[in-house]
Every structure is written in structure tokens, then in C-alpha cells.
Amino acid sequence: MAGAISLVFAFSVAGLQAIGLGLRSMQLHEAAVVASRTMAHGLRVGNAGAMPCWQASDGLLRPAAYSEAEVCRAVVSNLGGLDPRLASVQVRQAGIDQAGNPTTFTVTISYREPISSALLRLFAGESFVSASEATSSAQ
């Protein structure tokens, strides 16, 4: 009887964590959409010659120290309760307008979360990586 209860408990914990991982994917997508729209609307703050915040290892934690700070602020504010230290951001710019500025912005956010459920770790490994991408065009 105790073994059956333990098994039910283990499956419940694994199921809850699996559901949480799926919800994180939705949060990452929203953060990527907002960040790509921020880039497309030209909401950029900081020294244009400095390193963009998404290229710095601590850019999501200290966006004001880098260029393009509003992009990283948009990501962090839309991560909800997720730890920004576990996230990474990549930005691709494409298309050039007559002034030489990019017209299309693709933001990819990856999030690596350790798996705490021993049962889920058997099937999914030590950590779960979720990534989401969004593209917006300048208007």
C-alpha cells in the first residue's frame, strides 16, 4: 500500500512539473513577442556603440549597463517569476531600409531549468530547455 501511495505521489509531482514546464514555454513566447516588437518600434536606449544587453552574460540582470536596454527590460518584465539567470536571448536583424536600418527583428529566448522530480529526470534528463522565437517588422 505504501509503495502504491509513493508511486502515485511521484507521478503527481512529475505531472505538475511537466505542466509547469509547458506554462513556461508560453511565458517565453510572450517575452519574445514583446521584445521583438520593442526592437521593431525602435524603443532603444543606451549607447548604440556599446555591447547590446542580450550579448552580455549579465545583460538580463543589468540591462542599463548595455545598449538596447529596453529589449532586455521587456524580456525580464514578461518572464513573470522565471529566473532571468536561466534565460538567454538571441536577436537577429534582417532587411535594410533606405536609411540603412534593419527592418525585421527576430528574438529567440531559451530557458534552461533544472528538473527537480526524480521520476521526470529519468525521462527528460537533468534539465529542461525551452525556446521560443518571435519576429516583428519595423513599420
The string of pLDDT tens digits covering residues 28-76 is 888 899 888 888 877 555 566 778 888 998 989 988 888 888 888 889 9
pLDDT tens for 107-137 read 999 998 887 777 767 777 787 788 888 888 8
Asked if residues 88 and 100 have their Cβ atoms less than 8 Å apart, the reply is no
For residue 11, the enclosing domain spans 2-42+83-137
pLDDT at 139 over 70: no
Question: Average pLDDT, stretch 6-22?
Answer: 57
pLDDT at 7: 58
Q: What is the three-class DSSP state of 57?
A: coil
**For the chain, what is the domain count?**
1
The answer to whether position 61 is within a domain reads no
Q: So what's the pLDDT on residue 19?
A: 59
Residue 71 domain-assigned (yes or no): no
Q: Is residue 77 part of a domain?
A: no
Report if residue 110 sits inside a domain: yes
Helix axes 69-78, 2-40, angle to 10 degrees: 150
- Residue 12 falls inside a structural domain: yes
- The sheet with strand 127-137 has its strands ordered as 87-96, 102-114, 127-137
User: Other CB atoms closer than 10 Å to residue 39's CB: what's the count?
Assistant: 24
pLDDT for position 132: 87
Rounded to whole angstroms, the Cα distance separating 137 from 108 reads 15
* 57 lies in some domain: no
> Is the pLDDT assigned to residue 9 strictly greater than 70?
no
Q: Identify each DSSP E strand in the chain by its residue range.
A: 87-96, 102-114, 127-137
Nearest Cα to 117, choosing from 2, 49, 4, 15? Answer: 15
Cell numbers standing for residue 59: 545583460
Residue 16 has pLDDT above 80, yes or no: no
